[in-house]
Amino acid sequence: MKINGTLINYYFHCKRQCYLCGNRLNLEDNSELVIIGKALHETKYDEENSEISIESIKVDKIKGKYLIEYKKSNSDIEACKWQLYYYLYVLKNKGIDKVGKLICFEKKTNDSKSMIIELDDEIIGNLIEIEKKILALINSDDMPSVINSSKCKKCAYYTYCYI
């Protein structure tokens, strides 16, 4: 399986989630949060250049020097950051240098916050290692255990993991 931004995100969010998605157990379509995320994409980002597919990745928008990624919440910034780093890396490998802009919406306040992220050699080295680790994880016979975290309640795999 080819690594994509979702797998990178899940690797940081939960190794079991990454394993399940990497092995094509896809429950995403049933998740209310995923439906909200898709609705956000459809209603907020209908400007030109919205959602561009490049190889195994889908980026929300490219505008000027920025590659812009929108998230429906700021609940797992670390996972979102690495997903965006990965997109920047894929583009860089195609000779396109961009700066990442991560825009997170906060449902409660109806507000958004943005942060700028940039690739460097250390991040690229980490991404190469992370790709290898994800491949080893999803090709393993051992599925990681449930993590019993508060974030499980918002996960598309909650029913699969706990019920």
Contact between 17 and ligand SF4 by CB under 6 A: the answer reads yes
Strand order in the sheet with 66-71: 50-54, 57-63, 66-71, 99-106, 111-117
Q: CA-to-CA distance for 102 and 119, rounded, in angstroms?
A: 13
Please, what is the angle between helix 77-92 and helix 121-138, to 10°?
100
Task: Work out whether 146 is an interface residue with ligand SF4 (CB under 6 A).
Answer: yes
Q: Among 12, 16, 61, 82, indicate the residue that binds ligand SF4 (CB under 6 A).
A: 16
Q: Is 147 in the site for ligand SF4 (CB under 6 A)?
A: yes
Q: How far is the CB of 127 from ligand SF4 (least distance, A)?
A: 22
Helix (H) or strand (E) holding 62: strand 57-63
* CA distances, 89 to each of 29, 45, 84, 125 (Å): 28, 23, 9, 10
41 forms part of the interface with ligand SF4 (CB under 6 A): no
Site membership for ligand SF4, residue 11 (CB under 6 A): no
Chain-centroid distance of CA 152 in Å reads 16
Residue 159 CA to residue 163 CA, distance in Å, equals: 5
Q: Based on the shown chain and the rule CB under 6 A, indicate whether residue 14 belongs to the binding site for ligand SF4.
A: yes
161 binds ligand SF4 (CB under 6 A): yes
The stretch near ligand SF4 (CB under 6 A) out of 16-24, 34-42, 70-78, 128-136 is 16-24
How many residues bind ligand SF4 (CB under 6 A)? The answer is 12
Distance of closest approach, residue 143 Cβ to ligand SF4, in angstroms? 10
> Binding residues for ligand SF4, per CB under 6 A?
14, 16-17, 20, 146-147, 151-152, 155, 157-158, 161
